[in-house]
Amino acid sequence: MNGNEQNFEGTNFAGCSIMNKLGQGGMGTVYKAKHQALDKLVCVKVLSADLAREQRNIEFFLREARSAAKLEHLNIVHVYNFGQENGTYFIVMSYVEGKSLLDMVNEKGPLPVREAADIMEGVLDGLSHAHSKSVIHRDIKPANILVGTDGVPRIVDFGLARSISEEKQLTMAGEMVGTAYFMSPEQGLAGTVDHRADLYAVGATFFYILTGKYPFEGKTSVEVIHKHISDPVPNIMLVRPDVPLWCSRVIDNLMRKKPEDRYQSAQDVIALFKKHKSGDGELGLEDVSAEKTFDLPEVTARMKAAAPPPPTASLERAATALSDRSISARQMSQAAPPPRQEAAQIKTISGQAAAPAPAAKPALQLGALHNGIKAAVHVSLSMFATGLFILAGASGQVSGSLRSPLDSNPGAFFMLTGIASALLVWAVWQKPRKLTPVYALFTLAAAAAAYAGGAYIPAPQGTDTVSKAFLALKIGMGNMFSSANVIVYAIVLYLAGSKVVYRNNWALKGLAVLAYLGGLALTYSYFKAGAELTPEKAWLAAGGALALLGVLAAMTQKEPTLFSPQLLFLAANAAMFAMFTNPQVESITAEKVRAEGLKAAQENRINTYKYRRLLMEMQAEALYDEQGNPIQRTPPPAPAEVTPPETGKLRNAARMEYYKALGLRVRGALAESAGIIFIAFFLALLANVCFIEELIAAYREQDFMSGG
């Protein structure tokens, strides 16, 4: 409080006996007082005299009073009176004996999950009442939530609140209102704000009281607001691993960038809190029983249903098909029997009982069983090796660093990678054709993806390797159907379609086409989800044309060509990418052009001012020669005009900036959702498919050579 502010302590003001000052905020001072008529303790908030000089500040101050006066709820501080007395504006409100959430976190650190959930449920209950009265708070944060000694949270400071139906907009166009650390993206963009902005702030507040850290931090408010608008929501489990998974999911859904992607009402969130508090009341334990959607037996059954048929059955079907195609060969062999068949016929003529080669069928059945065992061994070896590569990547101390395992834990790194490599060599030894290019590509890619997935497991520093692996499993199962993994499933579908597209089977070709189109649709939805601008229709048409050509190529081609379906659908996916990339790049370019133009204009103004000042100084200062005659001085040349960089250079810079941000987004999404681990195991599965195909081919050759 400056020297111009009046101190009301010990005075009677607004029908209250002022006792002592409780604090001072941006709008004014808050006093503890006793209401003379009500005979109860109250708070008196007085508008600062400096702020009262502007009518706009008075309207902000009185808006808080009018907004809060509409509301009667246990979780909202009640307003008894407001107005003006002796030129001083005031609000009389209920007194809460307790502390703000901000003070509680500063004193005690992050709150227990149960306590934090109870507090946020009360806050949501109060907001639900305010929203039902068409009042939006717009500045929910820990400092504006008071928790009384009775444990009941109460929302205060409706200074930024407004009524949805309010005709007079007190904020100017383009003005941001709210606190940067808890501000919704639409507030940061000065866009249309509704009750869902309060829900975003609730998610940010929930994150803060559980971790003691802001969701997004920066050196300036503008940097923080920019992160709210563009950066993905941080995974709370990286900061506090003991937080139940449902809390992470609630925060993620509350803090979605687009309001329509969030929970649509406070009551929706309250219902989730009540669901996870049911049962024995221990939130930390309820998370286990509440996560019914990710039941491991169900996932296992689903994986089994989607798995390829057993190798033995496949081999038997292949042998049956081959026997149909070898009828003509058997007819030829009857006309000219091989030596062993001639010997058998001679024995029959001489009267000796000789069984005519009944051992052929049992021999083939034994071969099918043997190959089935080899396939099972290969699957086990490759999958276990992939898991060891994950552990090798997770053996580092720093999450997100590929060098950390080698630098911080070389013993574990070399042991795990050595065993995994030995298992892969053993798996290759099972192959009829040893090392083939496609098989090698899938195997090496699976090992690299597994190692990277382990290195990027979002675990706190110092977490041991085994705990990281279990965390990866938990995150992966929890995010199996997350939107962050859409690009993963697009890659999986593309690879699956490419694997079977050249099969001489219409059903398999149809499945390949469906896989390609499904992957293309997922690529479209992934990039569209983060695009606020209208995509370019020309690229959409190009992508559709390439996809149509890809379908025709997939259904007609039997071997790779220059215009293979893989290349055509890859180009179609690139068109989908460009369709959303170019508008984003142009938007960034326009912003850079505007900024560089303003910068150049400012520099020109400064140079012009300096030049004119120099001319004035030259005119004011007269110089004379030795005879006393005035010297005529030639003015210096005017400074060259500063021009902004060419638009093409700014566009290239904008494109690189966008690609860098997109790369960080994709990498962050894959790391936080363990999506790269999905890719690793899928690549390992494709390597096993190659192995089984080789077994089938070798089995057919053996069957044909044996005359079976």
User: For residue 241, what are its two tokens?
Assistant: 């691993």
Query: Which of the given ranges, 81-95, 254-268, 455-469, has the highest pLDDT on average?
Result: 254-268
Query: Looking at residues 247-261, what average pLDDT do you find?
Result: 91
Query: Looking at residues 658-671, what average pLDDT do you find?
Result: 71
DSSP state of 624: B
Q: Is the pLDDT of residue 704 over 70?
A: no
Write down the pLDDT at residue 462. 65
Q: Which of 98, 119, 276, 286 is nearest to 202 (CA)?
A: 119
Q: How many CB atoms lie within 10 A of CB 289?
A: 11
DSSP state of 357: S
Least confident range from 142-156, 351-365, 545-559: namely: 351-365
Give the count of domains, the chain.
2
First to last CA, the chain: 101
Q: Is the pLDDT of residue 562 over 60?
A: yes
Q: In what order do the strands lie in the sheet with 153-155?
A: 98-100, 145-148, 153-155
- How far is it, in rounded angstroms, from Cα 249 to Cα 153? 23
User: Would the CA dihedral through 428, 432, 438, 439 be positive or negative?
Assistant: negative
User: For residue 51, what are its two tokens?
Assistant: 């702020």
Comparing 26 with 374, the larger pLDDT belongs to 374
Same domain, 266 and 149: yes
Q: Let me know if residue 66 belongs to a domain.
A: yes
- How far is it, in rounded angstroms, from Cα 176 to Cα 167? 19
Alpha-helical segments (H) within 395-505: 404-408, 410-429, 437-455, 465-478, 486-500
Comparing 68 with 601, the larger pLDDT belongs to 601
Whether the Cβ atoms of residue 374 and residue 427 lie closer than 8 Å to each other: no
Write down the pLDDT at residue 315. 37
User: For residue 502, what are its two tokens?
Assistant: 């050249």
Q: Let me know if residue 252 belongs to a domain.
A: yes
Same domain, 137 and 223: yes
Q: Let me know if residue 157 belongs to a domain.
A: yes
**DSSP-derived 3-state class of residue 461:** coil
Same domain, 195 and 276: yes
Supply angle C-alpha 469, 472, 475, rounded to 5.
150
Least confident range from 171-180, 221-230, 682-691: namely: 171-180
The 10s digit of each residue's pLDDT in 126-142 is 999 989 888 888 889 99
Percentage of the chain beyond pLDDT 70 is 76
Same domain, 203 and 241: yes
Query: Which of the given ranges, 458-467, 627-636, 652-661, has the highest pLDDT on average?
Result: 652-661
Which of residues 44, 66, 94 is at a domain's end? 94
Query: Which of the given ranges, 177-186, 332-341, 443-452, has the highest pLDDT on average?
Result: 443-452
Q: Let me know if residue 445 belongs to a domain.
A: no
Q: Is the pLDDT of residue 585 over 80?
A: yes
Same domain, 146 and 254: yes
| Residue type at position 261 | D
Least confident range from 325-339, 403-417, 421-435, 617-631: namely: 325-339
Write down the pLDDT at residue 364. 44
- Backbone angles phi and psi of 163, in degrees to 5: -85, 140
Least confident range from 172-186, 279-293, 541-555, 662-676: namely: 279-293
Write down the pLDDT at residue 123. 93
- Backbone angles phi and psi of 4, in degrees to 5: -80, -15
Least confident range from 341-355, 385-399, 541-555: namely: 341-355
Q: Is the pLDDT of residue 556 over 60?
A: yes
Write down the pLDDT at residue 321. 39
Same domain, 27 and 112: no
- Looking only at the bridges linking them, the beta strands covering 88-94 and 135-136 are unpaired
Comparing 640 with 345, the larger pLDDT belongs to 640
Write down the pLDDT at residue 440. 85
**DSSP-derived 3-state class of residue 2:** coil
Comparing 162 with 546, the larger pLDDT belongs to 546
Whole-number average pLDDT of the chain: 77
Q: Let me know if residue 635 belongs to a domain.
A: no
User: For residue 7, what are its two tokens?
Assistant: 């101190």
pLDDT bucket at 344, cuts 50 / 70 / 90: very low
Q: Is the pLDDT of residue 169 over 80?
A: no
- How far is it, in rounded angstroms, from Cα 81 to Cα 93? 7
Q: Is the pLDDT of residue 322 over 50?
A: no
Percentage of the chain beyond pLDDT 90 is 15
Write down the pLDDT at residue 303. 45
Write down the pLDDT at residue 703. 55
- Looking up residue 70, the CATH number of its domain turns out to be 3.30.200.20
Name every residue whose Cβ is closer than 8 Å to that of residue 110 and which is 6 or more positions away in sequence.
209, 210, 211, 212, 240
User: For residue 164, what are its two tokens?
Assistant: 């949805």
- How far is it, in rounded angstroms, from Cα 597 to Cα 645? 9
Same domain, 211 and 268: yes
Comparing 503 with 152, the larger pLDDT belongs to 152
Write down the pLDDT at residue 209. 93
> Counting beta carbons within 10 angstroms of the beta carbon of residue 419, is it exposed (0 to 12), middle (13 to 18) or buried (19 or more)?
middle
Q: Let me know if residue 417 belongs to a domain.
A: no
Least confident range from 45-59, 127-141, 267-281, 557-571: namely: 267-281
Write down the pLDDT at residue 658. 81
> Counting beta carbons within 10 angstroms of the beta carbon of residue 39, is it exposed (0 to 12), middle (13 to 18) or buried (19 or more)?
exposed
Name every residue whose Cβ is closer than 8 Å to that of residue 376 and which is 6 or more positions away in sequence.
311
Write down the pLDDT at residue 393. 82
Same domain, 57 and 199: no
Q: Is the pLDDT of residue 166 over 50?
A: no
Same domain, 86 and 183: no
Same domain, 129 and 79: no
Query: Looking at residues 143-150, what average pLDDT do you find?
Result: 89
- Looking up residue 120, the CATH number of its domain turns out to be 1.10.510.10
Write down the pLDDT at residue 203. 94
pLDDT bucket at 319, cuts 50 / 70 / 90: very low
For residue 84, the enclosing domain spans 12-94
Query: Looking at residues 188-210, what average pLDDT do you find?
Result: 90
Name every residue whose Cβ is closer than 8 Å to that of residue 76 and which is 6 or more positions away in sequence.
68, 126, 129, 130, 154, 155
pLDDT bucket at 200, cuts 50 / 70 / 90: very high
Query: Looking at residues 67-93, what average pLDDT do you find?
Result: 86
Write down the pLDDT at residue 691. 85
Q: What is the pTM of this model?
A: 0.42
Q: Is the pLDDT of residue 68 over 80?
A: no
Q: Let me know if residue 229 belongs to a domain.
A: yes
**DSSP-derived 3-state class of residue 16:** strand
Name every residue whose Cβ is closer than 8 Å to that of residue 512 and which is 6 or more positions away in sequence.
496, 497, 498, 500, 501, 503, 554, 565
**DSSP-derived 3-state class of residue 309:** coil
Write down the pLDDT at residue 269. 92
Write down the pLDDT at residue 124. 94
Q: Let me know if residue 594 belongs to a domain.
A: no
- How far is it, in rounded angstroms, from Cα 554 to Cα 502? 7
- How far is it, in rounded angstroms, from Cα 589 to Cα 40? 61
- How far is it, in rounded angstroms, from Cα 312 to Cα 364? 11
Query: Looking at residues 656-665, what average pLDDT do you find?
Result: 78
The 10s digit of each residue's pLDDT in 462-510 is 677 777 767 766 666 665 666 666 777 787 788 888 878 888 888 888 8
Q: Is the pLDDT of residue 290 over 60?
A: no
User: For residue 573, what are its two tokens?
Assistant: 């996916």
Least confident range from 215-219, 459-463, 651-655: namely: 459-463
Comparing 454 with 103, the larger pLDDT belongs to 103
Which of residues 290, 310, 342 is at a domain's end? 290
Write down the pLDDT at residue 419. 93
Q: Is the pLDDT of residue 331 over 70?
A: no
- Looking only at the bridges linking them, the beta strands covering 79-85 and 40-47 are unpaired
Comparing 618 with 239, the larger pLDDT belongs to 239
Which of residues 94, 115, 130 is at a domain's end? 94
Same domain, 150 and 259: yes
- How far is it, in rounded angstroms, from Cα 27 to Cα 43? 15
Same domain, 119 and 234: yes
